[in-house]
Amino acid sequence: MSSSDSDSEFQEKPKPSTSKAKGKKKDDGKPKRKRLQDYLDEKAAREVAERAEELLRKRRRRGLADDEEDPEETTFPVINPMNFVKNKEIRHKQFKRMQGAKRKEEKEAKKTRKLEGIPSAPNHTIESLREKDETTVVNMEGEDQAEVMNDLANDEFCEYYQKSYEPRVMITFNATPHMVTRKFASLLRRMIPNTKTFRRNKTQLKRVCKSAIRENYTDILVVNENRKKPEGLLLIHLPDGPTAHFKVSNFKDLKDLKRNERDITTHRPEVILNNFTTRLGLTIGRMLGALFHYEPEFRGRRAVTFHNQRDYIFFRHHLYEFDKNGKRVKLRELGPRFTLKLRSLQVGLFDGKCGDYEWMITNKRHQMESRRRFFL
């Protein structure tokens, strides 16, 4: 016997390779064993399908079509078979699978819509679903707006828009205003031309109005503060009113916007009143516009904007710059920035006890008032 033969007899057999990952399971071709929960899910889905078939057979016996409504039939809520899955993980996986299938269907529908050239459905917002107001003015120059034009020609601001006088505004606050309130009033004085600020101390507003009329002021701005911040703004038009009360919120100082007060020049700004569409909105817009001079100085390139959206009036102050060709315009915000919310509109001068209110905001928490109804 040779040595090579003896070595071959004692040679060990090769072991099976263990290069495969331990986590992988062997596929023996056997069907996966069902769990108890799978049987329960199948049973629930089968019961729902049988109930639907039974109702369909009853409708056909009565001679009703499949899509025809039956007034005598009691409708049951549609039960999702997924609700019968008790295991949270399995229910979550099925829900994710259903969401993925829904996304795929939406993508395919969008692709076919693009190929066929069908426009997509518009996205609805609260502004687009706004309830129509009877006092909305669509076209000011229309023939059916003769009554509106007559009212505007004879209201309290007609003399201003006829350029018969220049506005002169008084800004006042209490005896000990906080630094933020003083800054807010000083910025208003810087933006509104021909304006002066006064401390009224403890003087009543009725006496302030009489003295302002005697000194030939046309408007009074009363800044109210709460918790060391400007909280309210009372606008009184002299000498016969009206009086509007606004809530002030989201006040941003020049320091917050990283702007310099030197950029605000003394030129008279342009005034932009945007989206005041109802009769009440026109009154408020004309009231805010009457604070500024009717002849702006275009050399300063300043623009003051009152933008109304969902009854919130956003105030912005910009400086616009033209390029060398004079075709493109760049806007640079100067500040400040704040938001006004109309609380009430009072006829005549301010009277806290016996005043006649033309409009007052309602508490929507306690009244069934629609969120889609806007007044300005």
What integer pLDDT is reported at residue 340 of this predicted model?
95
Q: What is the pLDDT of residues 17-50, one digit of tens each?
A: 444 444 445 555 666 777 777 778 888 888 888 8
Cα(250)–Cα(19) distance, rounded to whole angstroms?
A: 65
Which of 53-62, 91-100, 338-347 is least confident? 53-62
Sign of CA dihedral 141, 147, 150, 156: negative
What integer pLDDT is reported at residue 337 of this predicted model?
92
Angstrom CA distances, 281 to 66, 80, 285, 308, 374, stand at 52, 49, 6, 9, 10
273 falls in which pLDDT band (50, 70, 90)? very high
What integer pLDDT is reported at residue 272 of this predicted model?
93
325 falls in which pLDDT band (50, 70, 90)? confident
One DSSP character per residue, 81-144 reads GGGG---HHHHHHHHHHHHHHHHHHHHHHHHHHHHHTPPPPPPP-TTTTPPPPTT--S-TTSGG
Q: What is the average pLDDT across 349-354?
A: 84
- Name the burial class of residue 210, with classes exposed (0-12), middle (13-18) and buried (19+) by CB atoms within 10 angstroms of its CB: middle
Domains and CATH numbers, the chain: 137-368 (3.40.50.10480)
6 falls in which pLDDT band (50, 70, 90)? very low
Q: What is the average pLDDT across 208-218?
A: 92
Instruction: Give the chain's mean pLDDT.
Output: 83
Q: What is the average pLDDT across 312-319?
A: 93
What integer pLDDT is reported at residue 23 of this predicted model?
46
Cα(47)–Cα(81) distance, rounded to whole angstroms?
A: 10
337 is written with which tokens? 């920035």
Cα(27)–Cα(174) distance, rounded to whole angstroms?
A: 85
Q: What is the average pLDDT across 282-307?
A: 92
Cα(137)–Cα(276) distance, rounded to whole angstroms?
A: 9
What integer pLDDT is reported at residue 147 of this predicted model?
81
In the predicted model, is pLDDT for residue 3 greater than 60?
no
Angstrom CA distances, 222 to 165, 169, 199, stand at 22, 11, 10
- What is the β-pairing status of strands 219-226 and 169-173? parallel
Do residues 335 and 318 lie in contact, with contact meaning Cβ atoms separated by under 8 Å? Answer: no
Cα(125)–Cα(116) distance, rounded to whole angstroms?
A: 27
Residues with Cβ within 8 Å of 336's Cβ and at least 6 positions away in sequence, in order, are: 184, 187, 251, 252, 253, 254, 257, 315, 317
In the predicted model, is pLDDT for residue 366 greater than 60?
no
Cα(95)–Cα(91) distance, rounded to whole angstroms?
A: 6
Nearest Cα neighbor of 230 from 244, 246, 216, 213 is 246
Phi, psi angle pair for 259, to nearest 5° = -120, 165
